[in-house]
Amino acid sequence: MRILIPFIALLALSSCKGGYSFTGGNIGDAKSLYVGFFDNNAQIVNPETSQQVTEAIKDIFVQQTSLELNDGPSDMEFNGEIVEYSLKPQAARGPSEVAQMRFTIAIKVDFENRLESENDFSQRFSRYRDYNSDLNFSDIETELSEEIIKELTEDILNKAIANW
């Protein structure tokens, strides 16, 4: 009986049709996905960020939906650019000393759903991390940018298939 219940559940799930993803979003009848390269057009350019953002968008959609990644025209297409990669003072420690800095990454995303054009959007997504200014930014940059990019891709996924 213990073997039978998981088998029935697996059978039921595999026979389901429709475009629902693991996130609860709806991809409709879409089957394919294209993600263009996200150029870094920010004032500060980290040469790795373009590739990281592009791959992170691909990864989250492949992992959390049933969409198949394509190199050409697809049912859902993402294009865009990195528009901000900045460091700004956030909190003062004294009259001329900064206690906290803010690291921000923002990307502009153009999304086209060829099957349901009412879901198309062009939007700026932005996330940041504050950090103690006593820390050397180059020592924490990779970790902070990975955290921010993860949140940005979650925001993009939610906007595209959950319409949040």
| Domain assignment present for 73 | yes
Q: How many domains does the chain have?
A: 1
pLDDT (average), residues 26-41 = 94
* Phi, psi torsion values for 115, nearest 5 degrees: -95, -25
Residue 11 has pLDDT above 50, yes or no: no
Contacts of 60 (CB under 8 A, 6+ apart): 153, 154, 156, 157
| Domain assignment present for 116 | yes
Give residue 91's pLDDT band: very low, low, confident or very high (50, 70, 90).
confident
Give residue 142's pLDDT band: very low, low, confident or very high (50, 70, 90).
very high
* Phi, psi torsion values for 89, nearest 5 degrees: -60, 140
| Domain assignment present for 90 | yes
Q: Which pTM does this prediction carry?
A: 0.81
| Domain assignment present for 16 | no
The chain-wide mean pLDDT, for the chain, equals: 86
Q: DSSP letter at 24? A: S
Out of 21-25, 69-73, 79-83, 93-97, the most confident range is 79-83
* Structural domain of 95: 27-162
Task: Report yes or no: 84 and 125 within 8 Å, Cβ to Cβ.
Answer: no
| Domain assignment present for 80 | yes
Side-chain half-sphere CA neighbours of 159 within 13 A: 19
For 139-159, the DSSP string reads: HHHHHHHHHHHHHHHHHHHII
Neighbour tally for 33: CB within 10 Å: 22
Check which CATH number belongs to the domain holding 81 and give it.
Answer: 3.30.160.150
| Domain assignment present for 20 | no
| Domain assignment present for 19 | no
